[in-house]
Structure 1
């Protein structure tokens, strides 16, 4: 069941590009994506940004003590459930399983960010794009329509997530399309099929890429 169902909460709706919280803000609330997509990012002083994660339906974020180290924005129209951090802290003192779950969430998110940094640092542009699309196959919160996947994010978002320029991203998508890995369906739609990559990080200094022929048709 929902570990947080007994704690007061409320729903909030954010429009595309709207800030949920910013770097330096006090960490006063925890959130869960109910619909839509959230991007977590670090904003540079020069206006550049590095997106470190996309979050979809059911994912928790924003649990912290002190001030925010990252920013969160809505990618598309997004509904989140909100809890006050103080109420979650109080719940954790009464129910140890809540504290354990929050540690698990933090550990998963830390591992995801570490893998993301490793891939951005070590993979070629085309393989970064291949890894990104392969990871969407098992995502529950994406809209599937007519046999293909509708992405909520713009290509600029994907480029900033993968550490690429928009031009390099476009060339890489074209390369993967020519290779038969994916097919474009409109501005933000894709059908993913063909050879998939399984990426295994064996150490901080070694990244092994294992190619496996596997058909993924998203429907």
Structure 2
């Protein structure tokens, strides 16, 4: 699939389940006034389309060139019964979706712009074992990040610049981030700082 292609739309009949082989999709809902709220990003190895109500609950759109495996729902449901390993993987996928939904509720409702961007970068860098990569690819643009975090594009750009100026990250390209100070970035994401922008270790965010 080419970037910008719609895999499925909110409200469509959920006829298939998809596995992302390579590439990234954005998942979003359109509000009554036409605004877009991105609710997540899905990349290689992840499943999507697991709609319990037989309708897709959001729209899935390709961010980058995309390769997928499609499973017809009846065949996929039979595989769940026949393959214990698939059932465990499905449980993991559903658990991850629930965790992401809970994280985003906190992200949108309680965090400052700096805390939101720091949390977003850490989520992209995180591994299941708790380790983090130093390098983060950003296939999505600043507009996508803004719509996910509930910010303006200008605020996202200023926050990236601020994190770079304060030595927490480097920006080798617009589509990549190097995490230079994981501990400070994690502190910022957790809100360990004063209201005036100074962290409790004496450095500035």
TM-score (norm 1): 0.76
Equivalent pair of 2:135/2:178 in contact (CA under 8 Å): yes
Give the one of 129, 132, 149 matched to 1:162.
Answer: 149
Partner of 1:26: 13
How far apart, in 2, do the equivalents of 1:117 and 1:63 lie? 21
Shift of 1:81: 0.9
How far apart, in 1, do the equivalents of 2:172 and 2:188 lie? 26
How far apart, in 2, do the equivalents of 1:100 and 1:189 lie? 33
- Matching of residue 196 in structure 1 with residue 185 in structure 2: yes
Partner of 2:161: 174
The correspondence of residues 125-164 of structure 1 with structure 2, limited to 5 A, is 125-138=113-126, 148-164=135-151
Shift of 1:199: 8.4
Aligned length: 187
Instruction: Show structure 1 runs of 5+ residues with no match.
Output: 1-13, 141-146, 201-207, 213-219
The secondary structure found in structure 2 opposite 1:185 is strand
Shift of 1:109: 0.8
Instruction: Show structure 2 runs of 5+ residues with no match.
Output: 129-133, 194-198, 200-205
Rate the CA distance shift 1:198–1:25 in 2: closer, same or farther, 3 A.
farther
Equivalent pair of 2:146/2:152 in contact (CA under 8 Å): yes
Greater strand share, structure number: 1
After superposition, give the CA deviation of every residue in 1:31-77 in whole Å (9 maximum; x if it has no partner). 11111101111112322111111111101111224111111111111
Shift of 1:139: 5.8
TM-score (norm 2): 0.81
Partner of 1:4: none
Equivalent pair of 1:148/1:185 in contact (CA under 8 Å): no
How far apart, in 1, do the equivalents of 2:92 and 2:122 lie? 24
How far apart, in 1, do the equivalents of 2:49 and 2:154 lie? 32
Equivalent pair of 1:34/1:80 in contact (CA under 8 Å): yes
